[in-house]
């Protein structure tokens, strides 16, 4: 349990008293900032730590970097920094320059750039020392660490990063980093426009059961609105435009240019989007598969459009094969007046025979002739001869237009369903 002292009044204290106090604390021969503050050097020095999170500066998915602005409050006892308040104008506390006093130099265990102690170059952070040797130092800094990013559910992903602080060169027999509370203070926290702070807590630990650590765990959830509006919906709308090529009349002569324009637009947009997506394969982002699906769909539509135009502009002198013509008639539900249809009726003689047998009471089950089975109407030769290559092309437009639309909707529904429920196959929860 940490000792909390509040500054008291210092009535009667003069500048000379403060000057004499500093001389007494810093210039006597018994003090060295290179020796940790504990009389029995076989016992560890206990540092009580509390972390204050001020802002999320950046979470770079591409580099795997978390950068936060925070303040780390450290408190310990230094028995060499004690005095009698009555000898110095009732002064119960004073501020000392951090360069002249021993202090815990905590560093980030997994830095992304250079290795440096928190607040090492901010000389405006003084140490607050009380007359009983209780010291308080609260440096603030921009703290950057590596963070393993999981973008499988992008842009509905949640990231958990850990800031690990260690005291360089100290083992657990020399230093104890004590988390005063698991709660991380957020009273000065400023919301981030891209990330929403879900949970944060602190705990102490050890590396290899030897080096003491202080760990701050930060859980962030992405705000997906920007990505949905600027990435997902444009891709979906371009996919719908791509499907509309099947509704463009072939006689316009614009089908190839239209489908090619949409294909190039999707390819260029995917290039721009891919530059801003995390470049990781463990696991691959689900949105990458969604974008690839749209690109494949656009390529398939381009291929089918070329083949379909080739069918549409075939010469009428080249006769449509009868088997193909019958399939077209069947799928398009076309039937002329010449189509032969067999009536499903029972012959009149059979009906009279059944009535007489019923009257005589000798009707047997097997004596009743079953009615003839219903058969499909079969087109005659005139229907098959009337099918043109343009009819086949229009049927292809309907079929492939429907299939392309279903493909687009199913891929979009699968993407939103998996990322919103966070149940992507093959990805660990």
pLDDT for 84-113, tens place per residue? 999 888 899 999 888 888 889 899 999 887
**3-state class of 88 per DSSP?**
helix
- Percent of the chain at pLDDT > 70 equals 82
Q: How far from 246 is each of 286, 294, 297, 358, CA to CA, in Å?
A: 29, 16, 13, 62
Q: What's the chain's Rg over C-alpha atoms?
A: 41
According to DSSP, residue 333 is labeled T
State mean pLDDT over 194-215: 92
Model pLDDT, residue 339? 44
Q: Does 62 score more than 90 pLDDT?
A: no
Q: Which of 140, 145, 141 is nearest to 60 (CA)?
A: 145
Is residue 365 very low, low, confident or very high in pLDDT (cuts 50, 70, 90)? very low
Tokens, residue 118: 């928190």
pLDDT of 384 above 60 = no
- Give the right CATH number for 15-223 from 3.40.50.920, 2.70.170.10, 1.10.3720.10, 3.40.50.10130: 2.70.170.10
Is the pLDDT at 146 greater than 50? The verdict is: yes
Q: How far is the C-alpha of 255 from the C-alpha of 280, rounded, in Å?
A: 38
> 16: exposed, middle or buried (C-beta count within 10 Å: 0-12, 13-18, 19+)?
exposed
Helix axes 233-243, 255-275, angle to 10 degrees: 160
- The domain locations on the chain are 15-223, 226-316+392-421
Q: Which class is 226-316+392-421 in CATH?
A: mainly alpha
Mean pLDDT is lowest, of 37-41, 67-71, 141-145, for 37-41
Please give the Cα distance from 297 to 303 (Å, whole number).
Answer: 10
- Which range among 181-195, 242-256, 331-345 has the greatest average pLDDT? 181-195
pLDDT of 347 over the 70 cut: no
- Asked whether the beta carbons of 208 and 181 are under 8 A apart, the reply is no
pLDDT at 345 exceeding the cut of 50:
no
Residue 406: pLDDT above 90? yes
Band (pLDDT 50/70/90 cuts) for residue 350 is low
Mean pLDDT of the chain: 81
Given pLDDT bands bounded at 50, 70 and 90, which one contains residue 385? Answer: low
Indicate whether 358 pLDDT > 80. Answer: no
pLDDT at 5 over 70: no
Cα–Cα distance measured from residue 393 to residue 137, given in angstroms and rounded to the nearest whole number: 80
Residue pLDDT, tens place only, 249-290:
888 888 889 889 988 888 888 887 777 777 766 777 888 888
- Which band of pLDDT confidence, cut at 50, 70 and 90, is reported for residue 382? low
pLDDT for the residue numbered 357:
56
Q: Please, which pLDDT band fits residue 149 given cuts at 50, 70 and 90?
A: confident
Helix 255-275 / helix 286-312 crossing angle, nearest 10 deg: 170
Using a pLDDT cut of 90, give the percent of the chain over it: 27
Whole-angstrom Cα distance, residue 190 to residue 169?
34
Span of 55-69, 167-181, 352-366 with lowest mean pLDDT: 352-366
Q: Is the pLDDT of residue 342 over 50?
A: no
- C-alpha distances (whole Å) from 206 to each of 60, 176, 203, 236 are 27, 10, 10, 49
Q: Does the structure show a pLDDT above 70 at 352?
A: no
Residue 221: the pLDDT is: 94
User: Which pLDDT score is estimated for 160?
Assistant: 93
Q: How far apart are CA 93 and CA 83, in angstroms?
A: 10
Give the separation between CA 110 and CA 66, rounded to whole angstroms. 11
Residue 190 pLDDT class (50, 70, 90 cuts): very high
């Amino acid at each position: 349990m940490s000792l909390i002292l509040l500054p008291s009044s210092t009535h009667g204290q003069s500048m000379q008293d403060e000057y004499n106090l500093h001389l007494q604390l810093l210039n006597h021969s018994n003090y060295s900032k290179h020796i940790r503050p504990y009389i029995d050097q076989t016992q560890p020095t206990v540092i009580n730590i509390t972390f204050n999170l001020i802002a999320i500066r950046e979470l770079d998915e591409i580099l795997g970097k978390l950068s936060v602005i925070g303040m780390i409050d450290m408190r310990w006892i230094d028995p060499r920094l004690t005095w009698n308040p009555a000898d110095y104008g009732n002064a119960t506390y004073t501020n000392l320059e951090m360069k002249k006093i021993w202090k815990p130099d905590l560093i980030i265990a997994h830095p992304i750039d250079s290795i440096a102690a928190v607040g090492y170059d901010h000389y405006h952070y003084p140490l607050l020392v009380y007359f009983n040797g209780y010291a308080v130092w609260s440096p603030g800094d921009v703290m950057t660490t590596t963070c393993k990013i999981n973008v499988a559910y992008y842009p509905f992903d949640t990231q958990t990063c850990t800031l690990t602080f260690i005291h360089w060169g100290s083992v657990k027999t020399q230093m104890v980093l004590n988390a005063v509370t698991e709660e991380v203070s957020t009273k000065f926290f400023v919301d981030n426009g891209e990330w929403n702070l879900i949970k944060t807590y602190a705990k102490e630990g050890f590396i290899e059961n030897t080096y003491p650590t202080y760990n701050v765990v930060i859980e962030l959830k992405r705000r997906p609105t920007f990505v949905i509006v600027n990435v997902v919906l444009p891709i979906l709308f371009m996919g719908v435009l791509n499907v509309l090529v099947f509704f463009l009349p072939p006689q316009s002569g614009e089908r190839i240019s239209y489908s090619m324009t949409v294909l190039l637009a999707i390819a260029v947009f995917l290039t721009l989007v891919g530059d801003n997506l995390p470049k990781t394969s463990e696991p691959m982002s689900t949105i990458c598969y969604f974008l690839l699906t749209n690109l494949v769909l656009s390529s398939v539509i381009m291929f089918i459009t070329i083949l379909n135009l080739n069918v549409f502009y075939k010469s009428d002198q080249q006769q449509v094969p009868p088997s193909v013509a019958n399939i077209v008639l069947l799928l398009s539900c076309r039937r002329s007046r010449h189509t032969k249809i067999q009536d499903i009726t029972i012959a009149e003689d059979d009906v009279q025979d059944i009535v007489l047998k019923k009257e005589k009471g000798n009707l047997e089950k097997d004596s009743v002739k079953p009615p003839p089975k219903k058969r499909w109407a079969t087109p005659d030769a005139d229907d098959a001869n009337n099918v043109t290559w343009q009819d086949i092309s229009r049927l292809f437009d309907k079929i492939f237009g429907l299939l392309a639309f279903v493909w687009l909707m199913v891929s979009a529904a699968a993407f939103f369903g998996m990322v919103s429920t966070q149940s992507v196959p093959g990805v660990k929860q």
